[in-house]
Amino acid sequence: MTTSDPRRPSAAVPVRWTVAGVVVTALALLLALLMSGNAAPRVLGDPGALVRWGLPAALALHHVSLSVVVGALAFTRGILALGPDNEGLRARLVVIAGRAAAIWAAAAAAVLVLTFADTIGHPLDGGIPWGEFGIYAWGTTPGRARVVVLAVALVVLLLSHWRGDAQLVALTLAASTVVPLSQDGHALSSHNSLAPVLLAGHVLGVAAWVGGVVVLGLVADLLRPGRAHPGVVLDTFRRFSRLAGIAYALVFATGVATAALRIGSPAALATPYGGLVLAKTAAMLGLGVIGFRHRRWITSATASGSGPSAPAWRLIALEILVMGGTIALAVVLGRTAPPAA
């Protein structure tokens, strides 16, 4: 009889969720790009199809992988209780954080290059004009912000494989990237000084919430009956539920405030930009309902001392799918000029 390595994700549940999440995210990204018109060639300064399609995809991958890094490290450093019974989970989380950090670093590099090409309207099939790239990377606020994010991602990649305080440093660094990420072009172009602050809070809330839910999916096999003590599972869910509730409130509040600043008037909801806002809001409300169901399950499970049931895990799977679509909508929304612009 062989014992599976707890560091390796189960081939049954997490892989199936991952594939489904990728498909849903890709479809939502495709529909949002077509609906917003971002996929259409520009009349002036068109960067080419590779950039028009590749940049949103790279941004979605960047946001998801950053979230998983934050989620895995948050579980390791606070959500998962210390104890010998949790060593298998802790080892799995270290692997997840390291792999996600590698994807994050690669996505950050791709976003830097693709954003440069998008900004100057330069197709990449003819190569990268390094002189102009250097000016963008070091001489502009968005460029410097992307360079900082890439540098932090590489440092987090190194630290994520270590134990102890190194993981806390990695978590702090990963979370701190909300500051350079808030230097988004649309946030900087807003006349309201609150825009970067709202965006930073939004990114931090998404990272903690989405990352935590995805990490739960990736360790699902280790939290099933017979693999983990029911008390450990309930304690993990209770701690994450508190964090997720705060993160959801932060994401929803900052998202609504940011949309209100950019839309300007209710009439703008009839535009393609307004349609994306409404679709994202509907998805967020749906995720709130799922979160409420989770909370009810945790309350009843605590009273009975039972572990996660099959419906509870199906809710988490559904949450991951909806989150993937929501992130895709958010990416396209961030790259779409508001009606008043």
| pLDDT, tens digit, 9 for 90 and up, residues 57-94 | 999 999 999 999 999 999 988 887 666 667 778 888 99
| pLDDT, tens digit, 9 for 90 and up, residues 131-186 | 999 999 999 988 999 999 999 999 999 998 887 789 999 999 999 999 888 876 55
Predicted confidence (pLDDT) at residue 237 exceeds the cutoff of 90: no
Predicted confidence (pLDDT) at residue 278 exceeds the cutoff of 70: yes
Predicted confidence (pLDDT) at residue 13 exceeds the cutoff of 60: no
pLDDT at 3: 46
Predicted confidence (pLDDT) at residue 263 exceeds the cutoff of 90: no
pLDDT at 199: 86
pLDDT at 1: 38
pLDDT-wise least confident of 3-12, 38-47, 76-85, 330-339: 3-12
**Residues 239-260: what's their mean pLDDT?**
88
Segment 49-54 long-range contacts (CB within 8 Å, at least 24 positions apart): 50/123, 50/124, 50/125, 51/114, 51/117, 51/118, 51/123, 51/124, 52/118, 54/110, 54/114
Percent of the chain whose pLDDT exceeds 70: 85
Predicted confidence (pLDDT) at residue 114 exceeds the cutoff of 90: yes
pLDDT-wise least confident of 139-143, 186-190, 238-242, 329-333: 186-190
| pLDDT, tens digit, 9 for 90 and up, residues 183-207 | 765 554 555 667 788 888 989 999 9
Mean pLDDT of the chain: 84
Amino acid letter, 15: V
What's the pLDDT band for 339 if we cut at 50, 70, 90?
confident
What's the DSSP call for residue 8? S
pLDDT at 239: 85
Residue 196 vs residue 312, higher pLDDT: 196
Residue 194 vs residue 228, higher pLDDT: 194
pLDDT at 8: 53
**Residues 1-28: what's their mean pLDDT?**
65
User: Residue 88: how many CB atoms within 10 A of its CB?
Assistant: 17
pLDDT at 10: 46
**Residues 88-111: what's their mean pLDDT?**
93
pLDDT-wise least confident of 67-76, 102-111, 223-232, 280-289: 223-232
pLDDT-wise least confident of 3-12, 129-138, 274-283: 3-12
Alpha helices by DSSP H, the chain: 14-36, 49-74, 87-120, 130-139, 141-159, 165-176, 178-181, 185-189, 195-218, 230-263, 272-304, 310-334
pLDDT at 68: 95
And the tokens for 247?
A: 């993160």
Q: Please, what sign has the CA dihedral across residues 131, 132, 138, 139?
A: positive
**Residues 112-116: what's their mean pLDDT?**
95
pLDDT at 233: 77
And the tokens for 331?
A: 């990416």
